[in-house]
Amino acid sequence: MAKDLHKAAFEESTLVKLAIFRDYLKEWLPVFLAARNVYWKKVNVFDFFAGPGKDSIGNNGSPLIIVEELLPHLKNASQRNISVSLHFNENDKAKYDELNNRLVSSDFAEGQYNKLVENLDFKLAFDKWFPKMNDSDSANLLFLDQYGVKHITEEVFRQITALKHTDFLFFISSSTIKRFADHPSIQTYFNVDKAEIDDIPYHQIHRYVLSYYKSLIPSDKPYYLSSFSLRKGSNIYGLIFGSGHPLGMEKFLSTCWAIDPERGEANFDIDNENISQHQYDLFAEGDGIRKPNKVEVFEQELEELLRNKYFKTTKEIYLHVLSNGFLPRHAKPVIKKLIESNVLQRAAYTLSSNLCKPNVLIPSINYC
Ligand SMILES: C[S@@+](CC[C@H](N)C(=O)[O-])C[C@H]1O[C@@H](n2cnc3c(N)ncnc32)[C@H](O)[C@@H]1O
């Protein structure tokens, strides 16, 4: 059984997880509450495994983080006639009571928004709230901070990824899948091949879990999934992020690159075992500082694709960059180099989510 993380002070990996969630909220809330053009009337945040609100030394958990981040945006929401609802669920009665008490305290009671707190098993809460998420005039953010691995089943994942205007973040204990890949309880939830899992380096298992969830998305559906790996002691956990919109993906990736400036995907050196002394020397710069392996490989691959005239438009480059877990700024030096070496004609080649807006003129790539 999972250790109860609220009985002690949150550990470093929990604090990183909550920092990512908070940073993502900071980006997500203004997009949905302060946008110039609003296509939704209701904005909902769902925290399905909410906990009691704080750890044993008073660090805020996800529900209080949500309220704290929301309060500064309520004025914008009311100016746009958007109704904001926060939904919290926690199946442990004592934690549910604690959370309820905290949410009625003066710090969190103010403001024009709806607050619902339920004391249900996850699936019951999910089914109960699903029609709200599925309303055509709703925009949703879902946080699913489960213990273990079992709640985000294939069915739940497919339901979430079919929703409009919905981003989600869920937590999963990925190393459990590696350790117990052939155990019937894991096989019930993940249709994975034990031999394939055995080949994955232990510390990279969360990347594999991401690829598993990617395989559940139909190939013709534009959808963006990304991950952040977290190590706690010998265990590997991680967040899986999903959004139907590239702007959501860009914002999540910006959060991850701010936390992990080397690779944008872990709170530890996830590629460490792959860096040989030979590679180290090969990629050393004049000042002796070596570029991170992952960035170097990305730049080389992008350069090759551009030299082979693979992309026709800037939008294609933008989506390629995001789908590979990088940000537009990572493509800039490659584009600059190829302009200087007369592979690309001189132009701005601006990469941004504006390229994905309807009726926008999309610039072509001008090869020399
Ligand atoms: C990882 S903790 C969530 C921590 C919370 N996000 C925070 O920041 O404090 C998981 C929570 O889910 C609750 N839980 C466990 N099984 C559940 C279930 N089947 N349905 C709903 N909640 C559950 C646990 O009691 C625990 O509080």
104-129 pLDDT per residue, tens: 875 666 668 999 999 999 999 999 99
Ligand 1 geometric centre to CA of 97 (Å): 13
Report the number of distinct structural domains present in the chain.
2
340 in any annotated domain: yes
**Tokens coding 86:** 């926060």
Tokens read off for 358: 């309807």
How far apart are the C-alpha atoms of 21 and 23, rounded to whole Å? 6
pLDDT for 206: 92
| 313 and 222 both lie in a single domain | no
Question: 345 is written with which tokens?
Answer: 């004609």
Q: What is the pLDDT of residue 280?
A: 44
In a domain, 364, yes or no: no
CATH of the domain at 265: 3.40.50.150
In the reported structure, the alpha carbon of residue 234 is separated from the centroid of ligand 1 by a whole-number distance in angstroms of 22
- Lowest-confidence region among 99-108, 218-227, 330-339: 99-108
By alpha-carbon position, which residue is closest to atom 26 of ligand 1? 51
Residue 102 CA to ligand 1 center (angstroms) comes to 16
Both 122 and 239 in one domain: the answer is yes
Residue 263 belongs to a domain:
yes
User: Does residue 63 line the site of ligand 1, with CB under 6 A?
Assistant: no
**Which residue has the CA at smallest separation from atom 4 of ligand 1?**
51
Average pLDDT over residues 325-344: 97
Is the model's pLDDT at 281 over the cut of 80? Answer: no
Angle of the 62-70 helix axis to the 12-33 helix axis, nearest 10:
30
Confidence bin at 290 (pLDDT 50/70/90): low
Same domain as 295, residue 248: no
pLDDT at residue 277, rounded to an integer? 39
The reported pLDDT for the residue numbered 188 is 83
Last residue of a domain, one of 252, 269, 286: 269
pLDDT digits (tens, 9 = 90+) for 64-94: 999 999 999 999 999 999 999 999 999 999 9
CB-ligand 1 contact for 53 (6 Å cutoff): no
DSSP annotation of 360? P
* CA 191 / ligand 1 centre spacing (Å): 25
Residue 90, ligand 1, Cβ within 6 A: yes
Give the tokens for residue 327: 């940000």
> pLDDT class for 279, splitting at 50, 70, 90?
very low
Q: Which residue has the higher pLDDT, 191 or 79?
A: 79
264 and 290 in a single domain? The answer is no
pLDDT attached to residue 107: 64
Instruction: Determine whether the shortest distance from the Cβ of 55 to ligand 1 is under 6 A.
Output: no
| Ligand 1 centroid – CA 253 distance (Å) | 25
Lowest mean pLDDT among 273-287, 309-323, 327-341: 273-287
Contact 150, 157 (CB under 8 A): no
Q: Which residue's alpha carbon is nearest to atom 9 within ligand 1?
A: 61
Interval 33-39 mean pLDDT: 87
- 247 and 298 part of one domain: no
> Under 8 Å CB-to-CB from 130, ≥6 apart: which residues?
159
pLDDT number for residue 3: 78
Closest CA to 118 of 145, 144, 139, 95: 95
Asked which of 247, 269, 291 is the last residue of a domain, the reply is 269
With respect to residue 319, please indicate whether it lies within any of the assigned structural domains.
Answer: yes
126 and 244, same structural domain? yes
Within-domain flag for 368: no
69 CB under 6 A from ligand 1? no
| 315 Cα–ligand 1 center, Å | 40
Q: Which ranges of 105-238 does DSSP label H, i.e. alpha helix?
A: 106-109, 122-133, 154-161, 174-179, 184-189, 194-198, 205-215
Range of the domain at 292: 275-356
Ligand 1 center to 51 CA (angstroms)? 5
- Whole-number Å distance between alpha carbons of 164 and 137: 9
Query: 200 with 163, same domain?
Result: yes
Q: Tell which atom from ligand 1 comes closest to the C-alpha of 92.
A: 25
- For residues 35 and 169, membership in a common domain is answered with yes
140 touches 210 (CB < 8 A) = no
* Gap from CA of 6 to ligand 1 centroid (Å): 10
Cα(75)–Cα(192) distance, integer angstroms: 47
Which ligand 1 atom lies nearest to the CA of residue 14?
Answer: 8
In a domain, 182, yes or no: yes
Q: How much distance in Å is there from the Cα of 257 to the middle of ligand 1? A: 27
135 and 283 in one domain?
no
- Over 80: is that where the pLDDT of 169 sits? yes
Q: Which amino acid is at 90?
A: E
- Asked whether 326 lines ligand 1 (CB < 6 A), one says no
Cβ(92) to ligand 1 under 6 A?
yes
- The dihedral sign for the CA sequence 336, 342, 343, 347: positive
- Residue 61 Cβ inside 6 Å of ligand 1? The answer reads yes
3-state secondary structure at position 4? coil
What number does the ligand 1 atom closest to the CA of 65 have?
8
Q: Is residue 366 part of a domain?
A: no
Query: Domain ends where: 213, 242, 269?
Result: 269
365 is a domain residue: no
Tell me: do 72 and 174 sit in the same domain: yes
pLDDT for 69 equals 96
Same-domain status, 157 and 306: no
Tokens 């072509």 label which residue? 364
Q: Is 91 in the pocket of ligand 1 (CB under 6 A)?
A: yes
**Do both 256 and 279 map to the same domain?**
no
Average pLDDT over the chain, rounded to an integer: 91
CA of 131 to the centre of ligand 1 (A): 22
Q: Mutation test of ligand 1: which of 20, 98, 146 has the most ligand atoms closer than 8 Å to its C-beta? A: 146
